[in-house]
A and B are shown apart, each in its own frame.
Chain A
Amino acid sequence: MTTWTFFIEHRSEIAEATLSHLTLVIIAMGIAIAVAVPLGMLIVEHATLRNIALGLASIFQTIPSLALFGFLIPIPFIGGIGRRTAIVALVLYALLPILRNTYVGLTGIDPAVLEAAKAMGMTGTQILWRVRLPLALSVILAGIRTATIITIGVATIAAAIGAGGLGTFIFRGVAMVSDAVILAGAIPAALLALIADIFLGWVERRLKVV
């Protein structure tokens, strides 16, 4: 059985898995952005919180993904078998790049610009929303882009805990020792990552302030 015929025969199944994979990634990224960007804004001013948040996010990043999925299964409420556990793990993975880039973007602004803003009588809130955030946006987006690519890859492993997605084909293919089945999961996953990278890269350039 060639890869090509497997693709043709299972096209609706592959499309379904791709869609479920994409949903998993979008939900996880949505939550990760909603958590990491405000947290990144908060840690600019709070050194203790900064060390804790960046430290924790780094630790999550170092746990091998399969192990992280395994660790989460026995935890009540967020754990168990299925999508919910997978989403929690993906969020934990996505936090660090977004958090770090938000922090770096907000703090890496020309001090002369910030001094001018303060000297002109802008309040701290005004400086954050009208100066820091717009200038940090492209750096924050670069973090979101990195996190998205990672999440698309790691989400294939989520199939191991029954979360579905393209990983289903990969695990099945490994068990069947069939390249065709593995590729049915791997190729769409790679394409998703590539498309996300190109699209977010384009948005990032649009937001960049010279």
Chain B
Amino acid sequence: MMVSPAGWRCQPKMDANPAPPLQATIEFSEVTYRIAPSPAPAIVSDISLTIPHGETLILLGRSGSGKTTLLKLVNALLLPTGGQVLVQGRSTSNWDAIRLRRGIGYVIQEAGLFPHFTVAENIGLVPTLEKWDKPRITARVEELLTLVGLDPRDFADRRPHQLSGGQRQRVGVARALAADPQILLMDEPFGALDPVTRAELQREFRALALRLRKTIVFVTHDLREALLLASQIVLLQAGRIVCTAAPQEFLRFDHPEVRAFTASLDPAAGVPA
């Protein structure tokens, strides 16, 4: 456990007036995160950001720019060393971490599926932890498999190693949606897929996101993916926000890091003829 020097962390865990549950907003308020007493620069510094309900926010940046760290600050896998992260109006330090995480879906690269569970058991995990009854879990698993484009009769009893990369990722998304969380965190979920499968999943996910109206925070280093999925793009560089923009404005931004990313769209740019 971390010792909490700041006063606001010592408040009681249970808020007398909890925020209305359906407004799944996330707010970063002057957030800094550094690995304990290290003199090295912070991994992210001075991040202030509001993510309104229903928005798909893309955290874009190179490797090491701090985007995964920001994501982990949302579900209290990390706690800020400065400032605070508010989820539904309550600081992540004041949330019961287990409760907070059960209400937030999480999808990572290579899916992180449990190899000893079947597809159905993987998807049904959070409902099982939440002690739903069996028929309800089974029904939910079938509903979700159908939602992500996998036939329940064919896939429910398979093990993760019997799936292709794209199928595993679909199961990963279904698992994150299982208990109907209002917030989804996605860390380069399509990063390890071949380009064709990736494009397919991106298109389907875009349609799914528009339909489900979840608050989504999505980490990627792929500008193309960012432009396709984002309602808002946040570009990070060395732990700081370079700019925040809607996809159509983003390309017009005049900043070296933005230009570096737009140049990545056109591999031929800058190559002498």
User: CB distance A119 to B116 under 8 Å?
Assistant: no
Instruction: Kindly identify which residue among A118, A123, A209 contacts B116, using a CB–CB cutoff of 8 Å.
Output: A209
Contact of B112 among A115, A121, A122, A135 (CB under 8 A): A115
Q: Do A119 and B101 have beta carbons less than 8 Å apart? A: yes
Which residues between 92 and 143 of chain A lie within 8 Å of chain B, taking CB atoms?
110, 112-113, 115-123, 126, 131, 134-135
Whether the pair B106, A120 counts as a contact (CB closer than 8 A) is yes
A120–B161 CB distance below 8 A: no
Query: CB < 8 Å: which of B109, B110, B125 contacts A120?
Result: B125
Q: Which A183-210 residues sit within 8 Å CB-CB of chain B?
A: 209-210
CA distance A123 to B125 in the complex (A): 13
Size bracket, chain B contacts: 20 to 34
A121/B98 contact (C-beta < 8 A), A112-B108, A116-B113, A209-B116 known = yes
- CB-contacts of A61-100 with B (<8 A): none
User: C-beta contact mask, B92-110 vs A, less than 8 Å → 1, else 0?
Assistant: 0000011111111010111
Contact residues in A for B102 (Cβ distance below 8 Å): 120-121
Q: Does B263 contact A (CB under 8 A)?
A: no
Which residue of chain B lies nearest to A120 when distances are taken between CB atoms in the complex? B126
Shortest distance from the beta carbon of A105 to any chain B beta carbon, whole Å: 13
Contact B106 A119 (CB under 8 A): yes
Select B108's contact among A116, A131, A209, beta carbons within 8 Å.
A116
Within the complex, which residue of B77, B99, B110 is in contact with A119, where a contact is CB–CB below 8 Å?
B77
In the assembled complex, 9 residue pairs joining A and B whose CB atoms fall closer than 8 Å, in A order, are: A110-B115, A112-B109, A112-B112, A115-B112, A119-B185, A120-B102, A131-B114, A131-B116, A135-B115
| Chain A positions near chain B (C-beta within 8 angstroms) | 110, 112-113, 115-123, 126, 131, 134-135, 209-210
